[in-house]
Amino acid sequence: MLELERLNVLRGPAQVLRNLSLTVGDRESVCLVGRNGAGKTTTIDGIMGLLPLKSGRVALGGRDITRLPAHERALAGIGYSPEDAGIFPDLTVAENFRISQSLARSAGKGGAVVAANGIDERVLGLFPEIGDFIGRRGLHLSGGQKKMVAIGRAMTLSPSILLLDEPFEGLAPVVVSRFIDAVKQIKALGISLLIAESNLMTASRVADRLYAIDRGEIIFDDE
């Protein structure tokens, strides 16, 4: 589903990733594990085209997307939930979803069943709680609620693979378990996942395979 081949990625003048290679298979959940600053977010940003590649190759479903801009990668099937959720703070949850629904329709992906409140029924199946705060502005959401909206918004574009950057960070243990259940549901829908995660124990609860990263290099994989 996703293949990274010898990525060298810059963040400003600094090279962060060094010859990083990994793969995510069809309907597979893979975790990229490492301490803060190891290069996990840079890997995700490099896949999405948010950072320039010095060299290397990114392929999605066998198609080389290395030169595609970020918005075209999203429409090609890469869903993205950033570490900070990236919710528009002055818009309501419903308005945040309407933006992604509009993009989905423009890309010919507007066939999803929508509930009475305007939210994709697949999203409500993952996070029915969203219905309780659908009219709330992004500014007034809790950390867990923002993550729900960010993941749900990415799902609206019907991705073939979902990139989750630190989805469990800052959450209470009971909420982490709730999100782990949602990740398993996403995988059951046939969507592959690449999850950047700092906690090895949490990663082991959701991953089919693990990669460990340090100083921008893969130091372990269990392929």
DSSP 8-state secondary structure symbol assigned to residue 211: E
**31 and 206 Cβ atoms separated by less than 8 Å:** yes
Q: What is the pLDDT of residue 184?
A: 93
pTM > 0.85: yes or no:
yes
CA–CA distance, 12 with 169 (Å, rounded to integer): 25
Handedness of CA 40, 109, 181, 206 (dihedral sign): negative
How many residues appear in the chain? 223
| pLDDT-derived band at 103, boundaries 50, 70, 90 | confident
Enter the tokens of residue 200: 């090895």
pLDDT digits (tens, 9 = 90+) for 30-87: 999 999 989 999 999 999 999 989 999 999 999 999 999 998 999 899 999 999 888 9
Task: State the pLDDT at residue 109.
Answer: 63
Angle at 209 between CA 168 and CA 26, to 5 degrees: 95
What is the Cα–Cα distance from 161 to 134, expressed in whole angstroms?
25
Q: What is the mean pLDDT of the chain?
A: 90
d(CA 179, CA 168): 7
For residues 8 and 43, what is the distance between their CA atoms, to the nearest angstrom? 10
